[in-house]
Amino acid sequence: MPRITEIPVEIYLDNLLPFLPVQDLSRLGTTNRFFYLLSSDETFWKRKIEEDFNFSVSDTARTTGWKFLYKSLSNPKIYVWGYAVLLVIYHW
């Protein structure tokens, strides 16, 4: 029986990781180096941005990695006159 790290990387990136919640992906990356590298794959995060945010990755002037951009889009902040403001939206 093959070890979990012997399964081809493409199986993880294309068939398993896309279905995990982002919080679980972060936790998986803390288990060992293999899963850290998988959960940090920039191509994976680029595709995740396209799918989850309907974001055209060709239109971005990003200066950071795709994983960082995903985290930023997941937790947006509003800046007003140079100060970070926590935006809380209440649904009634």
Residue 8 within a domain: yes
Domain residue limits at 69: 4-74
pLDDT in tens, the chain (92 residues): 778 888 899 999 999 999 999 899 999 999 999 999 999 999 999 999 888 888 777 766 667 788 888 888 887 777 666 555 566 666 55
Model pTM score = 0.68
Residue 87 within a domain: no
Residue 38 within a domain: yes
Q: Is 22 exposed, middle or buried (0-12, 13-18, 19+ CB in 10 A)?
A: middle
Please count the structural domains in the chain.
Answer: 1
